[in-house]
Structure formats: structure tokens, C-alpha cells
Amino acid sequence: GAGVSQSPRYKVAKRGQDVALRCDPISGHVSLFWYQQALGQGPEFLTYFQNEAQLDKSGLPSDRFFAERPEGSVSTLKIQRTQQEDSAVYLCASSLVGLGFYEQYFGPGTRLTVT
């Protein structure tokens, strides 16, 4: 498909489990963003890649969160030892170039529920 895809769409994890969320950006898009969105709220920035370089990870809430994009395409957001407060929708977006007024194309998100 031509859009951003994310998998899985839904993930239920028991507290303490590790999870890995995958993002496939639009082919050729240089920039990739991860966001966390609580129900009915706006997305909150987590981290940003330009190609394989992680240029900003200031939004990651704790050292249990880790993101990578080793080949400058697919990205994985990993959460270790999940806690209930990690329950949210995790959105991935890609953009042809970097920050600014370029359009970000969003995936459908992964809804993570930690029980």
C-alpha cells in the first residue's frame, strides 16, 4: 500500500512484559516520528528520526522506551517492563523531509492496553 502502516493494530500486554511496535513509513520518506496519544487528547511527541539517525528523543517518557530505525526505513518502538500508564495509542508518521511545514502522513496507530 502507499500509506504508513503499523503493526500490530492492537496489543494487550500484562504489566511487566516487553512490547515491540512496528512502523512501515511511506517509501522514500526521510523523516519518521513517533507519538503517544491518550483517548480524546492530542498526540504527544516521543521521538524523531531523519533516515537512520535519531535526532530527537526528548519526548520518550522513561528509559523503558527505546526506538530504532536501523536502515532508515522501518522503525520499531520498544517498551520494556510495561506499566499501566503506558496504555495509549502509539502513532507513527512519516514525512518527505524534516520538521517544518511539510505534511506528515500518519499510520492508523497501535492501541496498547497494559493489564
Partner 1 sequence: TQLLEQSPQFLSIQEGENLTVYCNSSSVFSSLQWYRQEPGEGPVLLVTVVTGGEVKKLKRLTFQFGDARKDSSLHITAAQPGDTGLYLCAGAGNQFYFGTGTSLTVIP
Closer to partner 1 at the Cβ: 10 or 15?
10
- Residues 36-65 within binding reach of partner 1 (CB under 8 A): 40-45, 48, 56, 58-59
Closer to partner 1 at the Cβ: 17 or 74?
74
74 in Cβ contact with 92 (< 8 Å): no
Residue 90 binds to partner 1 (criterion: CB under 8 A) = no
Residue 33 binds to partner 1 (criterion: CB under 8 A) = yes
CB of 56 to partner 1, least distance (A): 6
100 in Cβ contact with 34 (< 8 Å): no
C-alpha–C-alpha distance, residues 52 and 72, integer Å? 4
E-state strands within 8-84: 10-13, 19-24, 31-37, 44-50, 53-56, 65-68, 75-79
| Residues that bind partner 1 in the complex, under the rule CB under 8 A | 4, 33, 35, 40-45, 48, 56, 58-59, 91, 93, 99-101, 103-109
